[in-house]
Amino acid sequence: MKFSDLWHTQAVPELWITGLAALAALILVGYGPAWRIARNVVTIAHEGGHALVALVFGRKLDGIRLHSDTSGVTVSRGRPDGAGMVFTALAGYTAPSVLGLLFAWLLGIGRITLMLWFALLLLAGMLVMIRNVFGVVSVVTTGAVVFAVSWFGSAAIQGAFAAFGAAFLLLAGIRPVIELQRLRARRQAPSSDADQLAHLTGVPGAVWVGVFGLVALASLGLGGWLLLPPEWTITLTG
């Protein structure tokens, strides 16, 4: 691969390839043992969302930790309330779905290599702020896989991998929201993002869980449509 390839458009994967990629992603999300491993990628996106939005709102980022139980924590400094803190808390559970939607859009317009290198850029930026060994290993491993596919993979392999990555993030954005509500129902997550948002805004935590879920479902619907080949979208829309 050449760096000039970043700006070239590539053929969108055929429908059967996208379908198989989505099926593989669905199995990964739905099968418990596989999910326990794959969820680390979701945690990376979750904590990366917190970190990115914190920086956008001018908060000082102290560090990110990723743990082997797939939990994570992002520490930032700034005003303890206000819009910056609200959007920082809101960004975690919505980040995987929004990122999956962005990837689906880039894939849909044929910017597959650009999508993969954008993912690498995000991982590299996050790596600088990781403050524990497991977090470093998790981010580096994820980045190594993406780099290998983008640098050594053929156009077909890149397309299939990109479809899998987008579909995985879109599908995986839903399960953590369900898990969160289950924990909250058992009173096992008193400091969750939803409860922090409830403290910041006065809006009940259950409402914020609903917001997380709506973002995930809307992203899945729109992202799934974007992943369809162009000829299918033309047929479906008339």
Q: What is the pLDDT of residues 72-129, one digit of tens each?
A: 999 999 988 899 999 999 999 999 999 999 999 999 999 999 999 999 999 999 999 9
Are the C-beta atoms of residues 116 and 158 closer than 8 Å to each other? Answer: yes
Share of the chain above pLDDT 90, in %: 85
Q: Are 85 and 103 in contact (CB under 8 A)?
A: no
Q: Which residues contact 196 (CB under 8 A, 6 or more apart)?
A: 89
What digits encode the pLDDT tens for the residues 145-166? 999 999 999 999 999 999 999 9
Q: Name the pTM for this structure.
A: 0.92
Q: CA-CA distances (angstroms) from residue 80 to 42, 50, 62, 64, 193? A: 26, 15, 15, 18, 14
Strands (DSSP E) found in the chain: 60-66, 72-77
